[in-house]
Structure 1
Amino acid sequence: MNNILITSAGQRVSLVRAFQKEIRKVDKTGKVFTVDLNPILAPACHVSDGSKEICRVTDADYISKLLEICKNWEIKIIIPTIDTELIVLAENRELLLQNGIIPIISSEDFITKCRDKRIINEFFQENNIDIPQEVDKENVTFPMFIKPYDGSLSKDTFLIREASELTEYHFQNPKLMFMEYIDHDVYDEYTVDTYYDKNGELKCIVPRKRIFIRAGEVNKGVTSKNEIINYVKDNLSKIEGAVGCLTMQFFFHPIEKRIIAIEINSRFGGGYPLSYLAGANYPEWIIKEYIFNEEIPYFEDWEDNLLMLRYDDEVLVHNYEE
């Protein structure tokens, strides 16, 4: 069976539907299942072909429960969607492979780099990628931006415009990095959906401008064939250990053309459906690569200037009981 499992499905309705559409093009019996901490309250679990509750990824028996679910559903491919799952799946890659299950994840080493902003900054610099300049804690300049090296969802981030806004917490917390502030009124922010094949070779680059963000996820965005494409292609055409969809964050100065890298998330981002609808069909490529062992050619024929405007929709669950 060529069944697919999407973990921590939550609100990833579009991602589930994309994989359902693509697997059924090549295998009408193929199904897309989901797991979540609370599947009854996860919309994506209601549009999938079946869902189950699973414990937190940090629980000791997470992998054993995941393995049991995969065996019951005859899962061929696992698609993770949140950062905390990545390292756990990478650490257990061989166990999953031994059971005929392929987790679409980067190597443990590369995931570790992505999870630590200090290390990923070193990675960017080694590959001639510009980053925000570090601010000396003993000689601060304003404005500046403070963020934790292992943070996510904008937690513990601070825009500091003057000295009076600094506190002892900022200096005493060893996780906080003092960085150059990139002015959002001057720079455009882009998420770049890239696809790397199983050999770490770059196959697609889709910059999408983040016009409006809601709850940390793009709500309005537009694809753009701009200078970021060649910048990524020239400097990151191969990444050792990179696999599948990687979402890279950049700031771009539209006049000076300065491109500044912020981070890499080695998974599908919440805004990926825009790239999919523009023609960058990563679900299809994953199926071709990992189920049918096909090679993926470089692809750049996706739709430019495609605007996505998201809105709220409803999933109704009848006879719900708490």
Structure 2
Amino acid sequence: MTAVLFTCAGQRVDIVSAFGRAGATTVAADLDPLAPALYHADHKALVPHVDDPGYVDALAALVAEHDVRLVVPLTDLDQEIVSREREALEPALVLAPAPEVCRTMGDKYLAHAFFEEHGIDSPRTWLPAEIPDDVRFPLLVKVREGFGSRHIYRADDPGQLEFHLRSTPVESMVQELCLGEEFSIDVFCDTEGRCLNAIPRSMIQSKGGESIKGESLRDPELIEHGARVAETIGIVGPANVQCFREPDGSLPVTDVNPRFGGAFPLPLAAGSRYPELALALARGERPEPSLGEFRAGVVMTRFFSDLCLVEDGNGELVPFAEELPHPIAAEPGQG
């Protein structure tokens, strides 16, 4: 069985569990001892903060201990780090694009400049000191480096724009608000940058920048668009391409996250087999592209779950599975 190390595992129980079902031995690493994904992996490990000088050494030790063959960063926090230090993590394959790709896509203004330079439609975007007089409101004041829709503000007129630029605590850019329908395209590329599949989905509802309701779509234009964007950027492994279909028919890209998206369960249910493709790459195989091979019409609606832990006899936290002998609170209507 191929051992897979997940860094910054956090709450990504869905991804860790999917790789386990695909036949991997899963190793989850995180700074937080209460990170839920730790307790859904075959092995768990606490590691230093991503900025700690010993972070990569801690990951390398896990690679050696568990004979890890694939390293999958699950957030933006350490993706560039593990990409840059991939030699230190050998013989494991790091499932991430080159460091400069991680850096460019992580800075939304640099990403916009890249899109324009390479012929990929992108909403008109400016640095705060470069906003022209003919801008079309509404505008968005957006953090250049961030995630989860934090520090994004809508401005409907010049007064609101001035207020948000003055009050935002982070380095920001200004972008025209797209007027069409928003889509996400979950792609997966091999180590040569070939797009193996691209699965579009609707954005029925999002919360905190993460899709919580959506549907897989059989849309040839979006499939081709996602594949072209991924291959132009140089994606290796998974990525999420966010775009709009504007009234003029253009497909401006607003964001590309070179990792598994928050709505990972939807393309998985639609038949992406992305964990199996990742494991094949780790074995040195070269899967052929299968663009458009997935099930359309799969609807995802997400919900909260939970995990309760108790200390075992050695002071370690372990999942608590024993049924409670009686209710710990009164039933509704019983006072």
Q: Equivalent residue for 2:273? A: 281
Using structure 2 for the length normalisation, give the TM-score. 0.84
- Given the alignment, which residue of 183, 190, 194 partners 1:190? 183
1:217-252 CA distance string (max 9 Å, x none): 21111111223123334x437336420001111112
Structure 1 residues 127 and 81, CA gap change in structure 2 (3 angstroms)? same
Q: Equivalent residue for 2:12? A: 12
- Given the alignment, which residue of 12, 34, 40 partners 2:28? 34
Q: What letter is aligned with 2:7?
A: T
- What stretches of structure 2 of length at least 5 have no aligned partner? 318-335
1:114-154 CA distance string (max 9 Å, x none): 11222211222233221111365252542111112223222
CA distance in 2, matches of 1:237, 1:178: 24
| Aligned-CA RMSD value | 2.3
Q: Equivalent residue for 2:328? A: none
Is this contact kept in 2: 1:154–1:216, CA < 8 A?
yes
- What stretches of structure 1 of length at least 5 have no aligned partner? 24-29
Structure 1 residues 261 and 189, CA gap change in structure 2 (3 angstroms)? same
Q: Equivalent residue for 1:27? A: none
Look up the SS of the partner of 2:309 in the other structure. Answer: coil
CA distance in 2, matches of 1:46, 1:212: 29
Which stretch of structure 1 is more off in the superposition, 168-177 or 236-245?
168-177
Q: Equivalent residue for 2:115? A: 124
Q: For residues 148-167 of structure 1, what are the structure 2 equivalents within 5 Å?
A: 148-167=143-162
Is this contact kept in 2: 1:109–1:241, CA < 8 A?
no
Is this contact kept in 2: 1:202–1:236, CA < 8 A?
no
Q: CA deviation at 1:167?
A: 3.5
Is this contact kept in 1: 2:200–2:218, CA < 8 A?
yes
1:269-294 CA distance string (max 9 Å, x none): 11112101101111101111221423
- Given the alignment, which residue of 209, 215, 219 partners 1:222? 215
Is this contact kept in 1: 2:59–2:89, CA < 8 A?
no
1:149-191 CA distance string (max 9 Å, x none): 22322222210012222346616989321211124xxx22222
Residue 176 in structure 1 maps to residue 137 in structure 2: no
Q: Equivalent residue for 2:320? A: none
Q: Which has the larger radius of gyration?
A: 2
Q: CA deviation at 1:261?
A: 0.3
Is this contact kept in 1: 2:187–2:198, CA < 8 A?
yes
CA distance in 1, matches of 2:256, 2:172: 18
Q: CA deviation at 1:70?
A: 2.0
Using structure 1 for the length normalisation, give the TM-score. 0.88
- Given the alignment, which residue of 64, 76, 81 partners 1:71? 64
Is this contact kept in 1: 2:149–2:208, CA < 8 A?
no
Q: What letter is aligned with 2:92?
A: I
Which stretch of structure 1 is more off in the superposition, 239-248 or 76-85?
239-248
**Identity rate of aligned residues, in percent?**
25
CA distance in 2, matches of 1:126, 1:264: 15
Structure 1 residues 287 and 218, CA gap change in structure 2 (3 angstroms)? same
Look up the SS of the partner of 1:118 in the other structure. Answer: helix
Which stretch of structure 1 is more off in the superposition, 166-175 or 294-303?
166-175
Q: Equivalent residue for 1:26? A: none
CA distance in 2, matches of 1:95, 1:31: 21
Structure 1 residues 237 and 318, CA gap change in structure 2 (3 angstroms)? closer
Q: Equivalent residue for 2:307? A: 315
Q: Equivalent residue for 1:210? A: 203
Q: Equivalent residue for 2:100? A: 109
CA distance in 2, matches of 1:218, 1:237: 20
Q: CA deviation at 1:299?
A: 3.4
CA distance in 1, matches of 2:17, 2:288: 22
